[in-house]
Structure 1
Amino acid sequence: MSKTIKIRAQQKGDICQVKALIKHPMETGLRKDKKTGKKIPAHFIQEVNCAHEGEKVLTGLWGGAVSTNPYLAFEFEGAKKGDKVTLSWADNQGESDSVETTIR
């Protein structure tokens, strides 16, 4: 079970709707710490991937402009109930996470 990703995949007719919430600070590297006045180091997701039954259906290249705890929603065709969907991300500090869910 993922510590940073909550995901739901639901079949609606011919379309699979995927909704995910990723827990991540998404720091740009431009903000300053109010107490110390020093810049907060950049820490943001660079790449998000989603695969359906092992075949990539989405690749997102993100940067520091994406909000804290980003929400991602998208649709794709060619899935059916019971299939597996995998979502993964990697950030600029070498951290990553992945989760798999079953389409309902």
Structure 2
Amino acid sequence: MPSNTIRIRAKISGGVTDVKSLISHPMTTGLQKDKKTGKVIPAHFIEQVTAELDGKQVFVANWSIGISTNPFLSFKVEGGKPGETLKLSWVDNKGESDSTTTKLS
């Protein structure tokens, strides 16, 4: 399992939590060819991203090959209090996954 692939920041302003993250992942489509061998590079992309705020699921994104390498993700969630925990997780088409948590500020 990959580790440390997610960088995340979550800040509260006016009762809304603003979440920004950067995920390190190759996000290959399965349509590119290796320049040296000419063989197709197998698809390897994130299929699902989820976010939980203090254990309650607040965000789900289903992705496919149309997302760029090392995707940036930003979303807002109503609510959240300083000190609560936000967990962001992803799973890819090869069964690999990662997650990280941060405290709201």
TM-score band, normalised by shorter chain: over 0.9
Secondary structure, in 3 states, of the residue corresponding to 1:86?
strand
- Counterparts of 1:56 and 1:75 in 2: how far apart (Å)? 13
What per-residue deviation string (whole Å, max 9, x for no partner) do you get for residues 6-39 of structure 1? 0000001110000000000000000000000000
In the alignment, which residue of structure 2 is the partner of 1:46? 47
Shift in Å at residue 80 of structure 1? 1.0
- Counterparts of 2:100 and 2:84 in 1: how far apart (Å)? 14
Superposed, which structure 2 residues align to 1:1-104 within 5 Å? 2-104=3-105
Q: Please provide the CA RMSD for this pair.
A: 0.6
Shift in Å at residue 78 of structure 1? 1.7
Report runs of 4+ in structure 1 exceeding 6 Å deviation: none
Paired AA for residue 45 in structure 1: I
- Counterparts of 1:54 and 1:3 in 2: how far apart (Å)? 21
Paired AA for residue 50 in structure 1: A
- Counterparts of 2:10 and 2:101 in 1: how far apart (Å)? 10
- TM-score normalised according to structure 2 size: 0.96
Aligned length, in residue pairs: 103
Paired AA for residue 76 in structure 2: E
